């Protein structure tokens, strides 16, 4: 049984409890005032086809350890059970878990809500129940949470009509680690990386509004990210979908592992990789910081506000070479 810490009401401008939680209609919260990051952010890049080495080295290059002594909530990409990069590669999950344990994580809980398939079916298809038992980690199927474990988040100037519900364990977590894939999205999202990973922390009933709001979908994806801030993000970019997605698509190899703590920087680097590999029109013809997910995330103060604030950290000549090329693409847009 998974322990859940007592939910603390967020400060003004953060989370608004649902009517079921506090007995009154939720009020509209003002967005939190956020300062733009002027000093930039580091993302680590490792050129490799070896997930074990790449994950370890990328995290080491960051020089941070946000998981030591923490109960870690680990969010993968299990929207469906399709083979990588349609979903998180099991080897990525295994090596990330093992490294987080070596870093001193107190406990690790994988948390996910899949869709359209049932989450339990996806977890079974991916072999995640057995994987968790073998590695000694917990597993939380958000889709099985009771109604009082879903908290409404509502902000002023949101493109969500009446807010959206987020899994309470995500809001409770003091340390969330996210691992995303690198892929295009053929159904309106344009791309799916760390920002879009947040869709899996929302209630499935919110998906009808998201999927029928074509003109606002990308902005709505970014707005979900106001609900939480990951402590660490690892992107498995060994392979990518450069067209199609998110379940199946045209594959190309990049042989890269990226790590950081800034969702905008991670996704911007991912877009640079797609441009480097050669991708579809929506990627190639739009400047990186003009992509709607990125632009809205910048407006919300969720990370760096320009490509020159992204510092690519490498540790070997081959990684440095591709890192320099990606930096050129970032600056060019």
Which domains are seen in the chain, by residue range? 41-332 (3.40.50.11440)
| Proportion of the chain above pLDDT 70, given as a percent | 89
pTM for the model stands at 0.88
Element (H, E) at 151: strand 150-153
d(C-alpha 87, C-alpha 237), whole Å: 12
> Tens digits of per-residue pLDDT, 123-135?
999 999 999 999 9
d(CA 272, CA 70): 33
pLDDT of residue 47: 98
How confident is the model at residue 19, as a pLDDT? 37
Q: What is the mean pLDDT of the chain?
A: 90
The residues facing 237 across adjacent strands are: 256
SS3 (DSSP) at 268: helix
DSSP secondary structure letter of residue 230: -
* 151 pLDDT above the threshold of 80: yes
Q: Hey, which residues does 127 pair with through a beta bridge?
A: none
Distance CA 25, CA 19 (A): 5
Query: Which whole number is the average pLDDT over 169-174?
Result: 98
Residue 211, pLDDT above cutoff 50: yes
Is the per-residue pLDDT at 232 higher than 80? yes
Query: Sorting pLDDT into bands at 50, 70 and 90, what band is 333?
Result: confident
> Tokens 């090596």 — which residue?
95
Model confidence pLDDT, tens digit, residues 5-24: 443 333 334 333 333 343 32
Residue that is written with structure tokens 């960051």 in the block: 62
pLDDT value for 24:
29
The yes-or-no verdict on residue 120 having pLDDT over 80 is yes
Reduced to 3 states, what is the DSSP secondary structure of residue 242?
strand
Those residues whose C-beta lies under 8 Å from the C-beta of residue 40, and which sit 6 or more positions away, are 304, 308, 309, 310, 311
Look at residue 3 in the predicted model and tell me its pLDDT.
Answer: 47
Question: Each residue of 64-77: pLDDT tens digit?
Answer: 999 999 999 999 99
């Amino acid at each position: 049984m998974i322990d859940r810490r007592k939910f603390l009401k967020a400060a003004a401008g953060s989370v608004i409890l649902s009517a079921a939680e506090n007995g009154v209609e939720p009020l509209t919260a003002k967005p939190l005032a956020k300062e733009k990051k002027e000093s930039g952010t580091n993302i680590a890049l490792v050129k490799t086809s070896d997930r074990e080495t790449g994950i370890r080295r990328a995290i080491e290059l960051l020089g941070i350890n946000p998981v030591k002594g923490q109960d870690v909530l680990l969010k993968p990409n299990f929207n469906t059970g399709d083979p990588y990069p349609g979903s998180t590669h099991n080897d990525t999950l295994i090596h990330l878990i093992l490294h987080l344990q070596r870093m001193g994580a107190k406990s690790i809980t994988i948390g996910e809500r899949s869709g359209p398939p049932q989450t339990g079916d996806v977890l079974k298809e991916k072999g995640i129940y057995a994987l968790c038992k073998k590695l000694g980690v917990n597993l939380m199927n958000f889709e099985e949470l009771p109604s009082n474990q879903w908290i409404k988040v509502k902000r002023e100037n949101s493109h969500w009509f009446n807010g959206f519900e987020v899994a309470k364990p995500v809001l409770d977590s003091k340390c969330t680690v996210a691992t995303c894939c690198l892929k295009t999205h053929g159904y309106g999202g344009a791309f799916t990386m760390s920002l879009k990973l947040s869709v899996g922390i929302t209630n499935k009933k919110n998906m009808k509004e998201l999927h029928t709001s074509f003109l606002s979908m990308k902005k709505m994806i970014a707005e979900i990210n106001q609900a939480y801030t990951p402590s660490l993000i690892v992107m498995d970019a060994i392979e990518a979908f450069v067209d199609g997605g998110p379940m199946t698509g045209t594959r190309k190899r990049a042989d890269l592992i990226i790590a950081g703590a800034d969702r905008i920087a991670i996704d911007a680097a991912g877009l640079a990789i797609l441009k480097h590999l050669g991708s579809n029109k929506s990627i190639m013809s739009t400047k990186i910081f003009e992509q709607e997910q990125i632009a809205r995330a910048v407006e919300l103060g969720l990370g760096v506000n320009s490509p020159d604030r992204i510092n690519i950290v490498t540790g070997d000549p081959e990684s440095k070479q591709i890192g320099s090329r990606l930096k050129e693409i970032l600056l060019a847009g």
